[in-house]
């Protein structure tokens, strides 16, 4: 399982509302648990021990047990939405400064070329423009959090 596969799994879990997922094969064992806003991830081959970063171990030990997940209601069909993805690795910002208004909010109309966020990479602030026209349906990333290349940022309903 590649790092990108693991990232996609984490993204799926964060969007689905599940609090815990365990996957085990003959070669790999993955346990993903969500506690509050953080999500410690531990992935290790089943046959060989792997050192885990002390911060992850402390976070996993200090976190309370996850409550039993209630049945999840079926989600609305999102197949007609277009995803605006991150073109780079960096830190996601919804506004130009803490005092400035957000570039977009849920329900706002966007057109091609409208700035929807900023991603800071190596002290350079890159304005990310929408490549589609539509209405912002969901913002998938919290302000001032790290993002990966090709990570979904916004869901847009095309006009």
Q: For 74-131, how does the pLDDT look when each residue is reduced to its tens digit (9 = 90+)?
A: 555 667 899 999 999 999 999 999 999 999 999 999 999 999 999 999 999 999 999 9
pLDDT tens per residue, range 11-67: 777 666 666 777 777 777 777 776 654 445 555 555 544 554 444 444 444 445 545
pTM: 0.52
Residue spans of the domains in the chain: they are 3-62, 82-158
d(CA 22, CA 20): 7
| CATH architecture for segment(s) 82-158 | Beta Barrel (2.40)
| Residues listed for the chain | 159
Residue 62, pLDDT score: 47
CA dist list (Å): 73 to 16, 64, 70, 78, 79: 10, 25, 9, 14, 17
d(CA 86, CA 92): 9
């Amino acid at each position: 399982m590649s790092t990108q596969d693991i990232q996609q799994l984490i993204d799926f879990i964060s969007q689905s509302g599940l609090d815990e997922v365990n996957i085990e094969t003959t070669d790999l064992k993955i346990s993903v648990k969500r506690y509050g806003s953080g999500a410690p991830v531990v992935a290790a081959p089943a046959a060989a021990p792997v050192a885990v970063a002390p911060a992850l171990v402390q976070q996993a030990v200090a976190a309370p047990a996850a409550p039993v997940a209630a049945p999840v209601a079926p989600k609305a069909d999102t197949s007609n939405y277009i995803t605006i993805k991150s073109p780079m690795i960096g830190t996601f910002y919804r506004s130009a400064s803490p005092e400035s208004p957000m570039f977009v909010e849920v329900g706002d109309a966007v057109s091609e070329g409208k700035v929807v966020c900023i991603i800071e990479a190596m002290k350079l602030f890159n304005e990310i423009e929408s490549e589609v026209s539509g209405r912002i349906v969901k913002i998938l990333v919290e302000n001032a959090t790290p993002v990966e290349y090709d990570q979904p940022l916004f869901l847009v309903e095309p006009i």
